[in-house]
Amino acid sequence: MFEQFLNPTVNDRNDRYGSSNLDDRVRFVLEVVDATSARIGAGKVGIRLSPYGTVSDMAAYAETAETYLHLGRALSTRGLAYVHFMDQSVLGLPPIDPEFLSRFRATYTGNLMIAGQLDFEKAQQLVDSGAIDLPAFGQPFISNPDLVERFRHGWPLALPDRETYYGGGANGYVDYPVYQGI
């Protein structure tokens, strides 16, 4: 997980991939992006990041915005297919701050995608405002195999059953029905 290198509360390395130096903390991310781009072409490379994410017991840190804006500037020069932000508010964490998203959008000039806690209206608003280029829907697709049609017609969404995730079977993944009407 790239955030382990970016987050100074867990990156206690004392080599060129750590320390309090921001360039050192983003170095691993950029080297992975560059190596992958060299192998398959930058236009085929996307990166998923979780600004303000604190999963795996990572602590929040004051330099989060500065870190991701610095990384955004560097990634902007690389011609990637996209940067994909994961909003971890579905896990009970704070959502990505709209002000930060606006600042990142001004810094990163490539395609920007966001996933997490989106409904049709919020996704459309983010695209229309220019905050993002692409909305992504993970959990809504699990519980709504006909998600596009539901969005198109304004039909209600089925809620996913998180208790069935990672159970090893089809239950909760491929057993949700398509919308049957009003």
Joined tokens for residue 45: 């490379």
Domains of the chain as residue ranges with CATH: 3-136 (3.20.20.70), 138-182 (no CATH)
pTM of the model: 0.88
Burial of 89 (0-12, 13-18, 19+ CB in 10 A): middle
pLDDT tens column, 80-95? 999 999 988 877 777 8
Three-state SS at 84? strand
Asked if residue 122 lies in contact with residue 89, where contact means CB atoms within 8 angstroms, the answer is: no
Does the pLDDT value for residue 156 go beyond 90?
yes
Round to whole Å and give the CA distance between 161 and 171: 9
Neighbours of 24 (CB within 10 A): 17
pLDDT tens column, 10-19? 888 999 998 7
